[in-house]
Amino acid sequence: MIETRTLTLADIEDLSFRALVAAGTSEANARPLAVATAATEADGVASHGLAYIPIYCEHVQCGKVDGSAIPAVDKPTPGVVNVDAATGFAHAAIDAGFDALIPAARAQGIAVLAIRNSYNCGVLGYHTWHLAQEGLVGLGFTNAPASIAPSGGSKPVVGTNPFSIAVPGTDGQPALLIDQSASTIAKSEVIKHAREGKAIPVGWALDADGNPTTDPNVGLKGSMAPSGGYKGVGVAILTEVMAAALTGATLGVHASPFSGTAGGPPKTGQMFIAIDPKATAGDAFATGIAGLVQVIRDQSGAHLPGDGRRSKRLAAQSNGVAVNVATLEKIEAILT
């Protein structure tokens, strides 16, 4: 049985911040990553939460991430914001980009943010969620080191490449939030199973010959199984175009891994599109979204994307989060 300890969200943010700074991250870069870590734990996505802090710290120390990087923001046109993350953490680059993206989207109805020379942005839906809180429809794309083979092939050429869309609601929370990778399951879940010595379900990953496997270590040496077969590959390629080709970032096939210490900075990218629904649909947008949400919730047993994270998020604000003690011990070791 896994031993856990309950922490408040403030505790999680503080622990993350102190560990990142102790590893050599500047306070300006550590704070947005620590805030995101607490939010990720609140949403119940433990694989991208505190469990990643030791990896982030290791990557700062080995040079895979520049913990002191200062993102460079450029606005070549009124509707486009470019950010060079300078091989630093994606979170600080995204925050800097949003400061220019949000007012641009409100002024024009739509604007895009292109980030290059970046790193793992964690839970993509965390970032689109912020755009929804600002009353904007937020679309996000992020590419990752290659781990999915093309249809009919066996050698990975694109990453798990998540996409996300968050739609503003009326209570400060998104009315709906879709956040999914192009693979059947996020690669971090396979890594988590390997770390814990657990088998993975059939359909999560393939071996080097393209055959299904339940051994996470074999799957990590092979490829991730695309969600929906060739359709998942199509989503991964779409995201590669949006987050890498259109931003000037490194293609997944050339990017160094997000795990381990080899290879230097991955220099991957993110793309965000912010749309002001008042500009495109006026009051009809809120009516249409409310109707869509209602017909889904009216169906017994139906799941509305984002509801699971929403309920956990609201509960965590009052009750805290149960965290793996083994993870806490790894982080506390960084501080000693």
Q: Is 329 considered catalytic here?
A: no
Average pLDDT over residues 250-265: 95
- Quote the percentage of the chain above a pLDDT of 90: 86
Active site residue 193: no
* The pLDDT value given to residue 170: 86
Residue among 13, 26, 48, 181 flagged as catalytic: 48
- Choosing from 16, 26, 47, 183, which is the catalytic residue? 47
Q: Given a cut of 80, is residue 1 above it in pLDDT?
A: no
Q: What is the mean pLDDT of residues 296-318?
A: 94
Cross-strand bridge partners of residue 212:
206
User: Domain 69-183+226-305 falls in which CATH fold?
Assistant: Ribosomal Protein S8; Chain: A, domain 1 (3.30.1370)
The band of 314, judged by pLDDT with boundaries at 50, 70 and 90, is very high
Cα separation, 311 vs 294, in Å, equals 17
Whole-number Cα distances in Å, 268 to 31, 57, 178, 244, 285: 21, 19, 22, 7, 34
Rounded CA gap, 5 and 320, in Å? 10
pLDDT for 123-162, tens place per residue?
A: 999 999 999 999 999 999 999 999 999 988 889 999 999 9
The Cβ of residue 260 has, within 10 Å, a number of other Cβ atoms equal to 12
**pLDDT (mean) for 104-122:** 98
Task: Reply yes or no on whether the pLDDT at 260 is more than 80.
Answer: yes
Q: Does the structure show a pLDDT above 80 at 52?
A: yes
CA separation, residue 106 to residues 111, 134, 136, 271, 280 (Å): 8, 10, 8, 18, 11
DSSP string, 196-241: HT----TTSEE-TTS-EES-HHHHHHSEEPBTTTHHHHHHHHHHHI
Distances (CA, A) of 193 to 120, 186, 208, 214, 217: 20, 12, 18, 10, 9
What's the pLDDT band for 187 if we cut at 50, 70, 90? confident
| pLDDT for 86 | 98
Residue 148 phi, psi dihedral angles, 5° rounding: -120, 130
In this prediction, residue 118 carries a pLDDT of 98
* CA atoms within 13 Å, Cβ hemisphere of 173: 13
User: 168 CB contacts (<8 Å, ≥6 apart)?
Assistant: 132, 133, 134, 135, 136, 137, 174, 175, 277
Query: Which residues fall within 8 angstroms of residue 73, CB to CB, at 6 or more apart?
Result: 81, 82, 83, 96, 97, 99, 100
Q: Which pLDDT band holds residue 290 (cuts at 50, 70, 90)?
A: very high
Handedness of CA 312, 236, 271, 108 (dihedral sign): negative
Range list for CATH 3.30.1370.60 in the chain? 69-183+226-305
- Which segment of 181-190, 225-234, 278-287, 298-307 scores lowest on mean pLDDT? 181-190
pLDDT (average), residues 89-99: 98
Q: Quick one: what percent of the chain has pLDDT higher than 70? A: 100
Question: What is the average pLDDT across 199-227?
Answer: 91
> Alpha helix locations (H) across 114-168?
124-133
Instruction: Quickly name the fold that domain 1-62+307-336 has.
Output: Hypothetical Oxidoreductase Yiak; Chain: A, domain 1 (1.10.1530)
Beta strand 72-77 with 80-84 is antiparallel
47 in catalytic set? yes
Phi, psi of 248 (to 5 degrees): 85, 20
Name residue, tokens 């292109």. 114
Which residue ranges does the chain devote to CATH 1.10.1530.10? 1-62+307-336
> Is the CB of residue 38 less than 8 Å from the CB of residue 50?
no
Residue 188 has pLDDT above 90, yes or no: no
